[in-house]
């Protein structure tokens, strides 16, 4: 499997994402500058965290209008996996690939620490390596991670099992404790916690490794089934 780690001006978790995919997962991976991107030959797209375009206007808003997003939307429409983490999640929301929006954390402060999460849905290509209800630990690092949506959207997310991860302690005020959601088709996941920073015990947790392993395992099974 070959991953593209899309890099925007202000991305600062791209090397972490690349390390997780290339060095730990032992998959093919490239750092792809957003202006020079050709995503046709990649199997998975990884949108890393950071402060794309300095978070001007709103976090992820400027990046969501860049030309590379057209390719990412085409990639998603083909059913290929797209993972957006932290600022990557914000970009997916701004681009309309996932519903909802991000607000400032309830304490109006940047938060950076390990956080326990609950796997609400393990029947996705990203979470099949976990047990439903399993508590895992990923770090968070954000100032605008307070996920918000209206009541109708929340009901829709629940009805379609699109809430994949929730916070056990809800540090930022997200509606329904939401830490990560998936699209209805099941191939686009946005999440605020950082799985790429939890792939080795040296980092304090290796719980994130199963997420990346799940992507590769399910892609291989799907690829073999369709070839």
* Of 218, 223, 48, 34, the residue nearest 125 (C-alpha): 218
Stated pTM of the model? 0.96
The sign of the dihedral angle between the CA atoms of 171, 172, 174, 179 is: negative
- Domain holding 35, by residue range, is 2-225
* Of 3, 50, 40, the residue nearest 22 (C-alpha): 3
State the total domains in the chain. 1
Judge contact between 105 and 173, C-beta under 8 A: yes
Judge contact between 191 and 136, C-beta under 8 A: no
- 13, 75, 86, 120: the active-site residue: 86
Average pLDDT over every residue of 171-183: 98
Q: How far apart are CA 183 and CA 191, in angstroms?
A: 12
- 13, 75, 142, 194: the active-site residue: 194
- Looking up residue 219, the CATH number of its domain turns out to be 3.40.50.880
pLDDT of 21-73, one tens digit each?
A: 999 999 999 999 999 778 999 999 999 999 998 888 889 999 999 999 999 99
- 94, 115, 120, 196: the active-site residue: 196
pLDDT of 109-158, one tens digit each?
A: 999 999 999 999 999 999 999 999 999 999 999 999 999 999 999 999 99
74 part of the active site: no
Return the pLDDT at 125.
Answer: 96
Q: Is the pLDDT of residue 227 over 60?
A: no
Would you place residue 205 in the very low, low, confident or very high pLDDT band (cuts 50, 70, 90)? very high
Q: Where are the alpha helices (DSSP H) in 112-207?
A: 151-159
86 part of the active site: yes
Tokens standing for residue 167: 């916070």
132 part of the active site: no
């Amino acid at each position: 499997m070959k991953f593209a780690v899309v890099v925007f001006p202000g991305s600062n978790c791209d090397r972490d994402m690349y390390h997780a995919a290339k060095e730990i997962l032992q998959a093919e991976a490239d750092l792809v500058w957003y202006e020079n991107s050709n995503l046709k030959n990649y199997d998975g797209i990884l949108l890393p965290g950071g402060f794309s375009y300095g978070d001007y206007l709103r976090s992820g808003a400027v990046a969501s209008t860049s030309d590379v997003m057209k390719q990412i939307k085409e990639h998603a429409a083909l059913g290929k996996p797209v993972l957006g983490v932290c600022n990557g999640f914000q970009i997916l929301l701004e681009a309309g690939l996932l519903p909802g929006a991000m607000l400032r954390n309830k304490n109006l402060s940047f938060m950076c620490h390990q956080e326990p999460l609950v796997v609400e849905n393990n029947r996705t290509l990203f979470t099949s390596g976990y047990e439903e209800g399993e508590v895992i630990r990923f770090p968070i690092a954000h100032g605008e991670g307070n996920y918000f949506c209206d009541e109708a959207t929340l009901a829709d997310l629940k009805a379609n099992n699109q809430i994949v991860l929730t916070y056990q302690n809800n540090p930022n005020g997200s509606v329904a404790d939401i830490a990560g959601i998936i699209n209805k088709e099941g191939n686009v996941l946005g999440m605020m916690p950082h799985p790429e920073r939890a792939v080795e015990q040296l980092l304090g947790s290796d719980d994130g490794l199963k997420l990346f392993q799940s992507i590769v395992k399910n892609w291989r099974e799907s690829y073999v089934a369709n070839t």
